Amino acid sequence: MREITPRDNNGSIVLRFSYAGKRYSFNPTPGSSYSDKLAIAKAEEIAHRIYQDCITGYFDSTLTKYKPNAMQGRTKEAAIQDAQEAREIVAARLSVNAVDLLQLFEDYTQFKSKTLKANSMIDYDRIKNKLRKCPHKLVRDAVDIMQWLVSDHKGMSTSSVEKQWKLINACCKWGVACKKLQSNTFEGLRNLIPSTKKSATQDDINPFSDDERKQIIQAFYASSNYSYYAPLIEFLFITGCRPEEALALQWKHIKGGKVTFCQKLTASGEIEAGTKTQSKRSITVNERIASAVREIKPEKCSSDDFVFPAKKGGFIDWHNFANRAWKSVLKSLPDIEYRNPYQMRHTAITVMVRSGIDSVVVAKWVGNSPNMIAKRYLGDVSDIVMPNDQP
């Protein structure tokens, strides 16, 4: 639902909005002018109250509770009775979901810790730190909390705010299931997060040339700030696996000369079984893959340790990596047109296809369908020179 704001109606003030498929329009401050700042402030207060009631399910479709002169002409007894009923309604409303969100999220984190790896809890701790700073504390204040998270966010991309909403929303769903909450007030509030405009989607196919691929890998290895990510970059460029598959890869998945992809890192920072399109797939490593992996394997490590962890432990934040490390290194290569890091997958698949490997085999290696490989990676042959001798 959109925010409700006072509008100018030929000099007077009017509130117009829709709720449950019905349109409403009324003057919240009869007799006042739109140029009257005090009247506008009062109208904004009423508009906010209506918006909150619509979100929480306490909207008065008669509009009586939102009209300043609703009691005019009533008897004293009737007015007293109405006031008492109003106080009871307000008290009942305030008791609904009057639960401390931080405490609820801490309980949810404790519940999730039984099934998640310790590294997966980093995002949960970040949200708890956010909620400690947030001036709005109760679950019923969902709209105010979401608006604060958006306003407190730094940077262009709002993907991290969306991740926060997803985890908080999941927490409140759990709260309802556990009878800790009467309802999930965060359900449907995704639309309060402004969308980040992207110049291109990760599905747009614009692979790097072989020379560009070599330059990017070398630039990462030579970078004083981002050489840590070089083995990951090389691995993605060679295997063509999805980033979320590489980030969830553990040492137990590399053995017997094979790499098995059987899990992925979700947007909410959780490990989920299976890949995007299948339960698992394996590839036989070549010497280049084996060498890249061998160079980064610690002398002492557990089979459950991740192959490509973040510098300080936990998972690599892919969005942070893309906005900082990737952009910085690509910027140092002015002769290469900027593309998003997902193009590493497209580049690897394109190299495989153009080297003559059957599309069925490539599909099995990268977890796509043969039809998709033929359609999207064999479709553009505009840069391939036709042979001189044709049958």
Interval 123-133: pLDDT, tens? 888 899 999 99
Q: How confident is the model at residue 122, as a pLDDT?
A: 75
Contact 114, 121 (CB under 8 A): no
pLDDT at 143 over 90: yes
pLDDT digits over 195-254, tens only? 765 544 445 778 899 999 999 999 999 999 999 999 999 999 999 999 999 999 999 999
CATH number for 210-339 (one of 1.10.443.10, 3.80.10.10, 1.10.10.410, 1.10.8.60): it is 1.10.443.10
Beta-sheet pairing, 258-261 with 281-284 = antiparallel
What average pLDDT does range 164-174 have in this prediction?
Answer: 94
| Strand, helix or coil for residue 9 | strand
Bridge partners, residue 281, by sequence: 261
Q: How far apart are CA 334 and CA 331, in angstroms?
A: 6
pLDDT digits over 112-121, tens only? 887 765 556 7
Spell 111-131 as b/e; 16+ CB within 10 A means b.
ebeeeeeebbbebbebbeebb
Q: How confident is the model at residue 200, as a pLDDT?
A: 44
The encoded tokens of residue 300 equal 């002492």
| Strand, helix or coil for residue 284 | strand
Bridge partners, residue 270, by sequence: none
User: Domains of the chain: which residue ranges?
Assistant: 7-95, 101-192, 210-339
Cα torsion for 107, 112, 114, 119, to the nearest 10°? -120
What average pLDDT does range 18-46 have in this prediction?
Answer: 88
Share of the chain above pLDDT 70, in %: 85
Contact 66, 28 (CB under 8 A): yes
Contact 271, 117 (CB under 8 A): yes
Q: How confident is the model at residue 390, as a pLDDT?
A: 47
pLDDT digits over 37-70, tens only? 999 999 999 998 888 888 777 788 888 888 776 5
pLDDT band at 178 (very low <50, low <70, confident <90, very high): very high
Global pTM value: 0.51
The encoded tokens of residue 79 equal 């007015």
pLDDT at 73 over 80: no
Give the residue from 163, 236, 230 showing the smallest Cα distance to 196: 163
Residue with the bigger pLDDT between 164 and 93: it is: 164
Residue that the structure tokens 């140029």 belong to: 35
Q: How confident is the model at residue 256, as a pLDDT?
A: 87
Identify residue 223 by its one-letter amino acid code.
S
